Amino acid sequence: MIELIELTKAYGRVRAVDGVTFTAVPGRVTGFLGLNGSGKTTTLRMLLGLSRPTSGQALINKVRFQELDNPARQVGAVLEQGISHPGQSGRAHLTTQALLIGVDRARVDVLLEQVGLAAAAEQRCGDYSLGMRQRLAVATALLGEPQVLILDEPANGLDPEGIAWLRELLRDHARAGGTVLISSHLLAELAQLIDDVVIISEGTVRYAAPLSELYGSASARLRIRGRDPQRLWRAFEEAGATVDTDGYALEVIGLAPEDAGDIAFEAGVPLYELASDAPNLEQIFLNLVAGDAPVPAPVAAPAPDPGSPPAADLFPAPADLIPIPSEPPISAESLISSETLASSETRASSETRASSETRTPSEAAPIEADAAPEAAVTTATTQEGDR
Ligand SMILES: Nc1ncnc2c1ncn2[C@@H]1O[C@H](COP(=O)(O)OP(=O)(O)OP(=O)(O)O)[C@@H](O)[C@H]1O
């Protein structure tokens, strides 16, 4: 476990880190996120005993880094790239590090394989790409089989395949009970890797919570078209959603796509389109670091112009809408089920028509309702604490 308690670092009058408090727990990957110069590296350096806090505490497994027994066996860290000598091969670098921290050199081959560098093991580190250097740095951090991993910008330079590899590696580590803290200046990059997020800006923590809460606080907007938009509108509102329209499709906030689909099904309205706009993670992040709005409200659709015709008139008539392709696969079984479907669809649509024909004007009105606005630092070999 990693615990930061009111951690502060002042350089003269500049408070690079100012009262940072958060915990990274075993079994989860915690993302430490901030723009350039926000204080991430300074925080991690204090955590790893490379820099003395002005005040506050940085603890790993309840003690300061300097107090850990054999730190490289407990903490693996990547603080910077360029930790390896450019003239050394990847294998030679890992072997040297293994000797320094007292790890069996047989582990070197295991790690080269694990980080995908086996084929490049004999190449000079100086010839490695950025992504390969990251992989080597991660391998170095893993040498001592530490429980705690602290990685500064580990995704930097990795291609999508490298990100997927890193995700698996970190997930496996957390699943096995490890604690992982990784930093980045890109939320979108971290989003694929982490369970919890801590956002820092100007040395201060602005947000610390499970990533799912950050997502949940910025609801996705659904764009939905169906055969009977008025009926859909009412059904979605009855389910507690905020509904608006651009005159062509419904825009629904506050429902998961699955729930919206189920509601439409229960209302007997065939859907022609159901798309989800994912929350804009970078925007959420930028709003948080700006400190103005804790979490951005979903962007509201413009309110309808009172002088414009009711949205019902703007929707294409059912006859003009493109029918759902429903060619059944040719098999006796599917013919039976498609017939059943066809007859139930006919029933549903005639019910739909019947009910909209018999609906009173006030019942048919929702479309006109007010639109809702809406370390082993390589590996611990260079720490102050070891000296
Ligand atoms: N040794 C130092 N002396 C004076 N100021 C420093 C020192 N180290 C860092 N700072 C300042 O502290 C602030 C935080 O820097 P830090 O490197 O921790 O940010 P960061 O979030 O890691 O940024 P990046 O993503 O660019 O690495 C910056 O304003 C930086 O200029």
Q: 95-110 pLDDT, tens per residue?
A: 998 998 888 889 999 9
What is the Cα–Cα distance from 372 to 162, expressed in whole angstroms? 43
41 lines ligand 1 (CB under 6 A): yes
Neighbour count for residue 154 (Cβ, 10 Å) = 28
45 lines ligand 1 (CB under 6 A): no
For ligand 1, atom 4: residue with the closest CA = 11
Give pLDDT, residue 4. 97
Question: Does pLDDT of 55 surpass 80?
Answer: yes
How far are the Cα atoms of 17, 20, 59, 340 from residue 7, in angstroms, in the given order? 7, 5, 10, 66
39 lines ligand 1 (CB under 6 A): yes
For the entire predicted model, the pTM comes to 0.66
Q: Distance, CA 40 to ligand 1 centroid (Å)? A: 8
15 lines ligand 1 (CB under 6 A): no
Q: Distance, CA 140 to ligand 1 centroid (Å)? A: 25
Question: Does pLDDT of 159 surpass 60?
Answer: yes
Q: Distance, CA 203 to ligand 1 centroid (Å)? A: 9
Give pLDDT, residue 84. 67
Q: 5-42 pLDDT, tens per residue?
A: 999 999 999 999 999 999 999 999 999 999 989 999 99
Q: 223-280 pLDDT, tens per residue?
A: 999 999 999 999 999 999 999 998 899 999 888 888 999 999 999 999 999 998 766 6
Helix (H, G, I), strand (E, B) or coil at 16: strand
Q: Is residue 58 within 8 Å of residue 46, measured between CB atoms?
A: yes
Question: Does pLDDT of 379 surpass 90?
Answer: no
Closest approach atom of ligand 1 to CA 34: 21
Return the structure tokens found at 351.
Answer: 């019910």
Torsion of CA 137, 141, 143, 146, to 10 degrees: -170
Residue-by-residue DSSP string for 50-88: SS--SEEEEEETTB-GGGSSSHHHHEEEE--S--S-TTS
Q: Distance, CA 1 to ligand 1 centroid (Å)? A: 25
Helices 130-142 and 90-101, packing angle to 10 deg:
20
Q: Which domains does the chain have, with CATH numbers?
A: 2-216+380-386 (3.40.50.300), 220-278+304-368 (no CATH)
Q: Distance, CA 146 to ligand 1 centroid (Å)? A: 27
